[in-house]
């Protein structure tokens, strides 16, 4: 049987936004994110990080620094991250892998046998939501990171943070792909 996954953006979603984070000492996981991912795990969800890291292409982040940051975040998230897919492609050249491209989600789906229409993408930017939608997933915008700027990006749901997104998923939220009566995405507070 295919598995269900929650794809999470990293920066501004599972950890506090740090511009081109290249230092594990600057990693701060989002509030209650570790416990939330643990609850998703317990309910049978895979937790997979999908992250653009153009700082690797520009040299602002060295591969060893990227690895140290990823390891520290994984530690703070209590070991509840099943896999991380990152894209080092530069920000000025859209590729199939770089969000909003869906290449990383396609790889994860192949590697882990994931049912995309039964899965979710959670992120703080319009590109996260566009990526999730294009991959056929349900989508949740979080208002941490850059989220406030993207309230109207067409996400199925808009919530305060990653913990609230996990709560919504665990509550069995139905997808809502149409705008609400006010022409805005339906909001869960
Ligand atoms: Mg982000």
Helical ranges in 84-143 per DSSP H: 103-112, 126-134
Both tokens of residue 25?
A: 């000492």
**Is 117 within 8 Å of 136 (Cβ atoms)?**
yes
DSSP state of 160: S
Q: Which of 9, 82, 89, 161 is catalytic?
A: 9
Mean pLDDT in residue range 99-116: 98
CA 155 – ligand 1 centroid, Å: 14
* Dist CA 138 CA 122 (whole Å): 9
CA 1 – ligand 1 centroid, Å: 31
pLDDT band for 159, please (50, 70, 90 cuts).
very high
Centroid of chain to Cα 50: 6
CA 95 – ligand 1 centroid, Å: 18
User: What element of type H or E holds 66?
Assistant: helix 63-76
Q: Any idea which of 127-136, 141-150, 173-182 has the lowest mean pLDDT?
A: 173-182
Q: Which tens digit of pLDDT belongs to each residue from 169-186?
A: 999 876 544 344 334 455
Residues in Cβ contact with 19 at an 8 Å cutoff, skipping those fewer than 6 apart: none
* Dist CA 61 CA 55 (whole Å): 5
For the question of residue 9 being annotated catalytic, the response is: yes
Residues in Cβ contact with 55 at an 8 Å cutoff, skipping those fewer than 6 apart: 20, 22, 61, 66
pLDDT band for 93, please (50, 70, 90 cuts).
confident
Q: Which CATH class is domain 5-183?
A: alpha beta
Residues whose beta carbons lie less than 5 angstroms from ion ligand 1: 9, 11-12, 124, 145
Q: Taking the domains of the chain in order of start, what are their residue ranges?
A: 5-183
């Amino acid at each position: 049987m295919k598995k269900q996954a929650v794809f999470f953006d990293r920066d501004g979603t599972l950890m506090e936004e740090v511009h081109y984070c290249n230092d594990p000492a600057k990693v701060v996981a989002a509030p209650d994110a570790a416990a939330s991912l643990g609850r998703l795990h317990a309910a049978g969800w895979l937790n997979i990080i999908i992250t653009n890291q153009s700082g690797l292409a520009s040299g602002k982040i060295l591969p060893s620094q990227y690895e140290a940051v990823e390891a520290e975040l994984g530690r703070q998230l209590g070991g509840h991250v099943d896999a991380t897919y990152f894209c080092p492609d530069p920000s000025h050249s859209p590729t199939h892998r770089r969000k909003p491209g869906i290449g990383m989600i396609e790889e994860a789906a192949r590697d882990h046998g994931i049912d995309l229409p039964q899965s979710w993408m959670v992120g703080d930017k319009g590109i996260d939501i566009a990526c999730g939608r294009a991959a056929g997933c349900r989508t949740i915008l979080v208002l941490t990171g850059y989220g406030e700027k993207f309230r109207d990006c067409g996400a199925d749901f808009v919530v305060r943070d990653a913990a609230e997104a996990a709560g919504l998923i665990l509550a069995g939220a139905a997808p809502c792909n149409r705008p609400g009566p006010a022409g805005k995405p339906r909001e869960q507070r």
